[in-house]
Amino acid sequence: MGVIKLKNIRVFSYHGCLDEEGKIGSEYRVDLKIKGDLSRSAKTDDLSDTIDYVHLNKIVKEEMAIRSKLLETVAERILVRIMDELLKVQKAKVAVSKINPPIGGNVAMVTVSRSKSR
């Protein structure tokens, strides 16, 4: 089993329950931790034998572009697509963070983490 991590994927998006969040948007950070069998690709040096992190990044950016009220919903969509599109993935964990959330305090970020396994 091997691990691929994508840390601090930065995107600007429009998630949130407030109407203003849908208009002005906010900065987000997404982190992925992907587990799968990487032994074949380690031997063949062939992209088709591994879990393509370019594809993972594409999924994150596309799903973050779809407005949702809850970060839980965004995280779930990301996980479903990863499991559907990348069959070599055995386990995926995603953390979606809203930077400087509008919650009436000095909070650097709020994060929702979810995971799925085959």
pLDDT 10s digits, 102-118: 888 889 999 999 999 99
pLDDT at 85 over 90: yes
- Whether the CB-CB separation of 29 and 44 falls below 8 Å is answered with no
pLDDT at 31 over 90: yes
Note the pLDDT of residue 22.
Answer: 87
What's the number of CA atoms in the CB half-sphere (13 Å) around residue 6?
A: 23
E-assigned strand segments in the chain: 2-13, 26-36, 89-99, 109-117
Determine whether 7 is an active site residue. Answer: no
Catalytic residue among 23, 33, 98, 116: 98
pLDDT band at 32 (very low <50, low <70, confident <90, very high): very high
8-state DSSP, 100:
S
Note the pLDDT of residue 43.
Answer: 96
